[in-house]
């Protein structure tokens, strides 16, 4: 079970992003970026669980849960728009698929999905999984991600593990450490969330897994 493999404190603060050869904007262009945080964007529709499986209520609830238990969590970088980062954000439906895959039962509501996650995994596990969706120190818009995917590059995530990005039938695929399940894909209509700011997000249709389950 994921909990057994990942329990224990997450090592270190957010690591510097390591998108090896992807093009990075010039320094003057980077300085001009806005400072609206991704957390503010996620909270724009209110901190509530609803019936819309295509948004990001569950990841918001998960981040808030970790922050409540661990006030020094590196995930709080999501609230500081001055810090550059990129988040590959699973939709609510992606978390539902994760719970269904690991427990054999698909939750009927977003609240049931959150309850299942909190009942199954400890805070350190949830924190580590969430950090596996964050690239610290770099604003990787969709153009940069596609450029990296064309080269099948690895990206170092904020928990120190890596993913590989590649293109498949024109879509960006994120290859995580789980070799047995379908890899996450970026959702075309949910790219470049918070565009124009130092923090940017891209919606994905699966939760990234930092180990082979």
Pairing of strands 184-185, 85-90: unpaired
Question: How far apart (Å, rounded) are the C-alpha atoms in residues 64 and 57?
Answer: 11
Residues 124-135 have pLDDT tens digits of 999 999 999 999
Average pLDDT over residues 92-116: 96
Joined together, the tokens standing for residue 98 give 């994760």
Length of the chain: 213
Residue with tokens 């698929």: 97
pLDDT band per the 50, 70, 90 thresholds, residue 213: low
Which pLDDT does position 7 carry in this prediction? 33
Which pLDDT does position 32 carry in this prediction? 65
pLDDT band per the 50, 70, 90 thresholds, residue 180: confident
Fold category of 2-204 in CATH: FAS1 domain (2.30.180)
Average pLDDT of the chain to the nearest whole number? 86
Question: How far apart (Å, rounded) are the C-alpha atoms in residues 203 and 209?
Answer: 16
DSSP state letters, the chain: -HHHHH-SPPPSSPPPP--SS-----HHHHHTSB---HHHHHTTT-S---S-TTS-HHHHHHHHHHHHH-TT-GGGGGG-TTS-EEEEEE-HHHHHHHHHHHHS---SSHHHHHHHHHHHS-HHHHHHHHHTTEEET----HHHHHHHHHTT-EEE-TTS-EEEEEEETTEEEEE-S-SSSPPEEB-GGG-SBTTTBSEEEEEESS---SS--
End-to-end CA distance of the chain: 7
Domain positions in the chain:
2-204
Question: How far apart (Å, rounded) are the C-alpha atoms in residues 199 and 25?
Answer: 14
Residues 26-48 have pLDDT tens digits of 333 445 689 999 999 988 877 78
Residues 49-99 have pLDDT tens digits of 999 999 999 999 999 999 999 999 999 999 999 999 999 999 999 999 999
């Amino acid at each position: 079970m994921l909990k057994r493999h990942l329990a224990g404190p997450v090592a270190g603060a957010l690591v510097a992003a390591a998108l090896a050869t992807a093009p990075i904007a010039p320094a003057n262009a980077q300085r001009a970026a806005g400072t609206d945080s991704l957390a503010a964007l996620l909270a724009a529709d209110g901190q509530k669980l609803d019936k819309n499986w295509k948004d990001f209520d569950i990841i918001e609830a998960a981040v808030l849960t970790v922050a409540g238990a661990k006030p020094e969590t590196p995930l709080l970088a999501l609230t500081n728009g001055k810090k550059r980062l990129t988040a590959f954000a699973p939709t609510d439906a992606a978390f539902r698929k994760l719970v269904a895959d690991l427990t054999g039962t698909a939750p009927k509501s977003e609240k049931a999905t959150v309850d299942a996650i909190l009942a199954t995994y400890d805070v350190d596990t949830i924190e580590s999984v969430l950090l596996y969706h964050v690239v610290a120190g770099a604003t990787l818009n969709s153009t940069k991600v596609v450029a990296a995917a064309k080269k099948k590059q690895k990206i170092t995530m904020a928990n120190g593990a890596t993913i590989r990005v590649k293109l498949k039938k024109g879509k960006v695929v994120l290859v995580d450490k789980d070799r047995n399940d379908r890899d996450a894909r970026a959702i075309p209509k949910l790219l470049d969330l918070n565009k124009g700011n130092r923090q940017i997000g891209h919606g994905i249709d699966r939760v990234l897994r930092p180990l082979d389950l």
